[in-house]
């Protein structure tokens, strides 16, 4: 069986011509501030290597529309539509388009959806996806990364294999939430966490309890699906296994709203008997009674970072081979539930 030969990349042209990636971009797109001799050398090398410039980068230079693929875990969670709305507006300000891909739980269907999206977009932005989601990307997509098409992960970690990562500072956010709870006299603080991943929220929660000599046992932590129903069942489990709890930190707002329902069904008053703090800062948190106190993620800032990171890579402002990292914090929004 014949093996395919990897396509020539802009980095190959830069290496052979002895110039930077940015210089290749400027030479091939007729931009100023480059000598005629350098331009000719770059053009000759590109011809010799049969290099075909990335259409996304050309689009940035010439004003052509760029299409971003926004890969989401589950559009049924209101967090993702809020983020998608923010990213779509900011992309529109750049003259760019956005295509949504809700990958869902089925690995085979997820792979097919990603493969279909890769054929139609100039960059991928992944958010809320499991670490293995990057592993679902078809090999062709990974090869195209070398042509300058970026993969940006939002709410990622420094270990994520992508061109750029935006981290969220959960540690500082969790500490702010627990400071608020302890200031109001809460001492037996439980946590409802995701059943799918070992979240940094949980590590920060444990560290805080240990540092402040607050009680912790295996009964203090509960794990559930990241859904409204998961929150309901976790609240019921908490009341049975850790009835002395007087506060609970919840992995996300959807689960926290479910927990409010679970406590209400059991006749447990919020915040009188137990305070509840969610994570995400969703608008829907103001539509329930009591209104949900939450650690708010600035979805507009997250989207702005995503677009800027893609822009930096496609326009050649990011040094070749480097990985961009940015970090945003959480803001405690105090409402009625805590």
Q: Does the pLDDT at position 165 exceed 70?
A: yes
What pLDDT score was predicted for residue 29? 65
164 plus 91 within the same structural domain: yes
d(CA 231, CA 292): 14
CATH number at residue 227: 3.40.50.2300
289 plus 179 within the same structural domain: yes
- Is 59 contained in some domain? no
45 plus 77 within the same structural domain: no
**What dihedral angle (degrees, nearest 10) is formed by the CA atoms of 313, 315, 321, 327?**
-30
d(CA 57, CA 135): 25
112 plus 205 within the same structural domain: no
190 plus 127 within the same structural domain: no
- With beta carbons less than 8 A apart as the criterion, state whether 336 and 291 touch: yes
199 plus 259 within the same structural domain: yes
- Is 58 contained in some domain? no
Query: What would the mean pLDDT of 290-310 be, rounded to a whole number?
Result: 95
Q: Does the pLDDT at position 138 exceed 60?
A: no
18 plus 89 within the same structural domain: no
What pLDDT score was predicted for residue 62? 45
- Is 132 contained in some domain? yes
- Is 291 contained in some domain? yes
What pLDDT score was predicted for residue 144? 46
pLDDT digit string, tens, across residues 251-272: 999 999 999 999 999 999 999 9
194 plus 156 within the same structural domain: no
The total number of structural domains in the chain stands at 3
Query: What would the mean pLDDT of 170-185 be, rounded to a whole number?
Result: 97
What pLDDT score was predicted for residue 3? 44
CB half-sphere exposure, 18, CA atoms < 13 A: 4
Q: Does the pLDDT at position 139 exceed 50?
A: no
- Is 193 contained in some domain? yes
- With beta carbons less than 8 A apart as the criterion, state whether 27 and 43 touch: yes
292 plus 178 within the same structural domain: yes
pLDDT averaged over the chain?
Answer: 84
d(CA 181, CA 211): 15
Query: DSSP letter string over 153-222?
Result: EES--TT--SSEEEEE-HHHHHHHHHHHHHHTT---EEEEEESSS--HHHHHHHHHHHHTT----GGGEE
Query: What would the mean pLDDT of 197-221 be, rounded to a whole number?
Result: 92
- With beta carbons less than 8 A apart as the criterion, state whether 268 and 290 touch: no
Q: Which residue has the tokens 């959480």?
A: 330
CB atoms within 10 A of CB 331: 13
pLDDT category of residue 156 using cuts at 50, 70 and 90: confident
- Is 336 contained in some domain? no
What pLDDT score was predicted for residue 112? 73
Which domain does 213 fall in, by range? 170-297
Burial string for 261-295 (b: 16+ CB within 10 Å, else e) reads bbbbeeebebbeebbbbbbbbbeebeebebebbbb
38 plus 14 within the same structural domain: yes
What pLDDT score was predicted for residue 4? 42
- Which has the minimum average pLDDT: 29-33, 166-170, 184-188, 332-336? 29-33
d(CA 307, CA 23): 23
Higher pLDDT, 198 or 97: 97
pLDDT digit string, tens, across residues 229-253: 999 999 999 999 999 999 999 999 9
Nearest CA to 275 among 200, 320, 332?
332
Torsion angles phi and psi, residue 278, rounded to 5: -100, -170
CATH number at residue 33: 1.10.260.40
pLDDT digit string, tens, across residues 11-70: 888 889 998 877 887 787 666 678 888 988 988 888 888 776 555 555 554 445 788 999
Of 33-47, 101-115, 199-213, which one has max mean pLDDT?
199-213
pTM of the model: 0.77
Higher pLDDT, 47 or 88: 88
Q: Does the pLDDT at position 130 exceed 70?
A: no
Query: What would the mean pLDDT of 180-209 be, rounded to a whole number?
Result: 93
Q: Does the pLDDT at position 204 exceed 50?
A: yes
- With beta carbons less than 8 A apart as the criterion, state whether 71 and 104 touch: no
d(CA 79, CA 280): 7
151 plus 96 within the same structural domain: yes
- Is 73 contained in some domain? yes
284 plus 200 within the same structural domain: yes
What pLDDT score was predicted for residue 293? 98
What pLDDT score was predicted for residue 143? 43
d(CA 17, CA 217): 62
Contacts of 90 (CB under 8 A, 6+ apart): 300, 303, 304, 307
- Which has the minimum average pLDDT: 127-136, 173-182, 258-267, 298-307? 127-136
What pLDDT score was predicted for residue 140? 47
Query: What would the mean pLDDT of 193-198 be, rounded to a whole number?
Result: 84
- Is 3 contained in some domain? no
């Amino acid at each position: 069986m014949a093996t395919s030969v990897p396509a020539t990349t802009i980095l190959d042209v830069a290496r052979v011509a002895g110039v930077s990636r940015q210089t290749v971009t400027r030479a091939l797109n007729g931009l100023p501030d480059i000598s005629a001799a350098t331009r000719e050398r770059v053009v000759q090398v590109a011809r010799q290597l049969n290099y075909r410039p990335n259409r996304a980068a050309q689009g940035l230079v010439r004003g052509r529309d760029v299409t971003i693929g926004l890969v989401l875990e589950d559009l049924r969670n209101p967090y993702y539509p809020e983020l998608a709305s923010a990213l779509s507006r900011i992309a529109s300000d750049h003259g760019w388009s956005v295509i949504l891909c809700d990958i869902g739980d089925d690995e085979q269907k997820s792979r097919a959806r990603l493969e279909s999206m890769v054929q139609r977009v100039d960059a991928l932005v992944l958010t809320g996806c499991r670490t293995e989601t990057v592993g679902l990307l078809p090999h062709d997509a990974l090869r195209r990364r070398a042509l300058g098409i970026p993969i940006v992960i939002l709410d990622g970690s420094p270990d994520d294999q992508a061109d750029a990562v935006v981290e969220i500072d959960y540690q500082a956010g969790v500490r702010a939430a627990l400071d608020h709870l302890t200031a109001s006299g809460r001492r037996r603080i439980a946590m409802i966490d995701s059943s799918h991943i070992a979240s940094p929220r949980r590590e920060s929660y444990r560290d805080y309890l240990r540092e402040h000599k607050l009680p912790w046992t295996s009964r203090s932590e509960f794990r559930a699906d990241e859904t409204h129903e998961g929150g309901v069942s976790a609240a019921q489990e908490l009341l049975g296994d850790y009835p002395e709890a007087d506060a609970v930190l919840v992995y996300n707002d959807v689960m926290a709203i479910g927990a409010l329902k679970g406590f209400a069904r059991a006749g447990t008053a919020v915040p009188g008997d137990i305070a509840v703090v969610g994570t995400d800062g969703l608008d829907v948190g103001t539509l329930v009674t009591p209104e949900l106190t939450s650690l708010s993620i600035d979805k507009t800032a997250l989207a702005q970072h995503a677009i800027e990171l893609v822009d930096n890579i496609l326009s050649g402002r990011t040094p070749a081979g480097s990985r961009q990292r940015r970090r945003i914090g959480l803001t405690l929004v105090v409402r009625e539930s805590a």
